[in-house]
Amino acid sequence: QSQLHPNCSALGPNPHNDSNSSTWCSWAPFDGDNYKELFGALDNAFLVAYAIGMFISGIFGERLPLRYYLAGGMVLSGLFTALFGLGYFWDIHVLWYFIIVQVCNGLVQTTGWPAVVACVGNWFGKGKRGLIMGIWNSHTSVGNILGSLIAGAWVSSAWGLSFIVPGIIIAAVGIICFFFLVEYPEDVGCSPPLHHDAGGVTSNDKDPEAVTSNEGPLSISGQSSTDRSDSPKEPVEEPEAISFLGALQIPGVVEFSLCLLFAKLVSYTFLYWLPLYIVNVAHFSAKEAGDLSTLFDVGGILGGIFAGLISDYTGGRATTCCVMLVIAAPMLFLYNHVGQNGIGTSIAMLIICGALVNGPYALITTAVSADLGTHESLKGNAKALSTVTAIIDGTGSIGAALGPLLAGLISPTGWNNVFYMLIAADVLACLLLTRVVVKEVRGWCGCIARKRGYVRT
C-alpha cells in the first residue's frame, strides 16, 4: 500500500511516462486521499469472493477428482495473480480491472483448502492428527513469509513483479501436483487410517484391522485394507457425498465455524494491516515493516504445532483453542502498548501474538475439520471431509473479509480502537466454544471417575 501511494517518490524515471522527470508519482487510481478505501475494496473483493466461493467449492471437491480439482485451481490462481501484476506493465489505471481480477482470484483459490485438507485427512487418522496437521499447516505461514519476501524484492522498483513471480510459482507447483499428488493411500498399496473408533477414543492408526465398531460394519473409510483395495473407487460404488445441510448437522460444525469467523478476523487483520501499523507507529520503512511482519507468521508456525500437540495429548481440541484465545486477548493489548518499545520487544511480542492468534486458527482449519469430516455420526462415510472443511473455512473467511474492512474504517480514529476490536473478536471466538469445552471437560471428569472406580474395585 505504501508503495502505490507515495507522493511522487524518487524511484527513478517513470517507465510509463516519456517526460524527463527523475521522479514518478503514485499509481492512479491509488494516488488520491481515499487510497485506504480503495485498497480496502481490493482486499474485500478478494475475501468476499473467497468466502462465497468456499461454500460451493467443498461440494465440488467431494464430487471431482481432487488431483484435477486442486491442480486446475492452482494454475488459475497463478494466472489471475499474474494478471494483477501485469496491470503495471500494461499501464492500467482502471480500478475495476483490479477488482475483477481480485474477484476471479478469490473464487479460484477456494479450490485449494478443502482439497488439501481432504487429501491429508485421507492419509492420517485421528491418533496423531493434531501434531501432523499442525506441522503440515506451517506451510500457510511459510507461504505468507515467502510471499512477503518475494513481493518485497520488487515492491519499490517494479511492483508488478511482486504479483507475476508468485503467480508463476503457484502455477508451476500446480502442474507438479497434477503429476505427483496421490489422493488415497490405497492408490500406492498403503492401508487406510482409522479416523475414529466406536468409543470415540483415539485409535492406533497403524493397525486398522484390529478395531471393530459397535455401530455395525464400517463403510469405505473404516473397512479393512483388503476390502478397500479390492473395491474399485468408482463413483457409483462410493458412499454418496454429504449435503450442505447434512454437514451442518454434524455436532460441533456450527460452533467451530462461528469461532473461526472471529479467529480468522483477527488473523487476517494482522495479515493485511500489520505492515502499515508498523510503518505508522514504529516508523520503519515499507521493506523493513514487511520483513518484521513475517515474525507474526513465524509465531503462527510454532502456535499451530503446539496447539496440535497439546490437543492430541489431551483430546480436547476446543479446550486447547479456548485457552490460547483467552491468553491471546491480553497479549494483543500488550503488543499495542509496549510492542514498539524497541526491536527486541517488537520481535518477541509479534512471535507470541502470532502463536496465540494463529494456533487456534490452524487447529480448527486442519485437525478439527478433519475430525468433524470423519465424525462417528457419518458411520465411515469419507465423502464429507471437503464439504465440512469448506463450511468451516468459508464461515471463517467471512471474518477474514470483515476484519480488514473494519480495520480500515476504525483506523482513522486511532490504532487503539483497532486493537480493542481485535480483542473483542478474540473473546467472542472463545465464548462460542463454551458448549464444546464443557462437553470435553465432562468427558475428562467421567474418564477420571471411571478410572478411580476401577482402582477401588
Task: Annotate 184-253 with DSSP letters as a single string.
Answer: -GGGGTPPPPP---TTS----TT-GGG---TTSS--TTTS-HHHHHHS---GGGSPPPPPHHHHHTSTTH
Give 189 or 98, the one with higher predicted confidence.
Answer: 98
195 within a domain of the structure (yes/no): no
pLDDT at 334: 93
Region 313-317: mean pLDDT is 88
Q: What is the CATH number of the domain that holds 97?
A: 1.20.1250.20
DSSP codes, 274-317:
HHHHHHHHH---HHHHHHHHHHHHHHHHHHHHHHHHHHHHHS-H
309 within a domain of the structure (yes/no): yes
pLDDT higher than threshold 90 for residue 345: no
201 within a domain of the structure (yes/no): no
Cβ–Cβ contacts within 10 Å for residue 52, how many?
18
15 within a domain of the structure (yes/no): no
204 within a domain of the structure (yes/no): no
pLDDT at 318: 92
pLDDT at 22: 36
Q: For 389-418, what is each residue's pLDDT tens digit? A: 888 988 998 998 888 888 888 988 988 999
**Of 391, 361, 390, 388, whose CA–CA distance to 373 is shortest?**
388
Region 425-448: mean pLDDT is 90
247, 251, 257, 260 alpha-carbon torsion, rounded to 10°: -140
pLDDT higher than threshold 70 for residue 261: yes
pLDDT at 172: 96
> Which of the four pLDDT bands, split at 50, 70 and 90, describes residue 294?
confident
Domain that holds residue 112: 34-187+241-451
106 within a domain of the structure (yes/no): yes
> Which of the four pLDDT bands, split at 50, 70 and 90, describes residue 73?
very high
224 within a domain of the structure (yes/no): no
Region 46-71: mean pLDDT is 85
CB 262 within 8 A of CB 400: no
| b/e code 209-237 from CB counts within 10 Å (16+ = b) | eeeebeeeebebbbbeeeebbeeeeeeee
pLDDT higher than threshold 80 for residue 34: no
pLDDT higher than threshold 70 for residue 158: yes
220 within a domain of the structure (yes/no): no
CB 164 within 8 A of CB 245: no
- CA torsion sign for 341, 344, 349, 351 is positive
Q: What is the H or E stretch that residue 395 is in?
A: helix 385-410
In the chain, % of residues over pLDDT 70: 78
pTM of the model: 0.73
Helix, strand, or coil (residue 154) = helix
Give 183 or 192, the one with higher predicted confidence.
Answer: 183
pLDDT at 11: 43
> Which of the four pLDDT bands, split at 50, 70 and 90, describes residue 240?
low
pLDDT at 147: 83
Q: What are 239's three cell numbers?
A: 458412499
Number of structural domains found in the chain: 1
